[in-house]
Amino acid sequence: MLKEFQEFVGCEQKKLLKHSPTSWLSMHRCLTRLLEQYKAVKSYFTSHKEAEKRRSKFGQIHSTLQDPSALPWLQFISHVLVQLDFPGNLV
């Protein structure tokens, strides 16, 4: 179903990655993939009927993605995480 939204917004079809709590370095890869797919993911959660249920996990994700500060915040966290993953690349 996400593939339809990826095609609609014109982003490359890739699977979303799951962060592994035992490997904290996976967080940057997961966040990078989410940022690549952000438009498709946001469209998916916006169009789904489950989004109206604020108490569900789905509704919480929908609410977060509707916040105008969500994308800049994720971009900031990604920038910080790249410094942790590759400390020699300090910008």
Lowest-confidence region among 9-23, 25-39, 61-75: 9-23
* Residue indicated by tokens 């919480």: 60
Residue type, 2: L
Strands of the chain, DSSP E: none
Question: Which helix (DSSP H) or strand (DSSP E) does residue 38 occupy?
Answer: helix 38-47
- Between the ranges 17-21, 31-35, 45-49, 53-57, where is the mean pLDDT highest? 31-35
Place 40 in a pLDDT band, splitting at 50, 70 and 90. very high
Residue type, 25: L
* Centroid of chain to Cα 52: 20
Residue 23 has pLDDT above 70, yes or no: no
Mean pLDDT, the chain, rounded, equals: 81
The tokens for 60 are: 């919480």
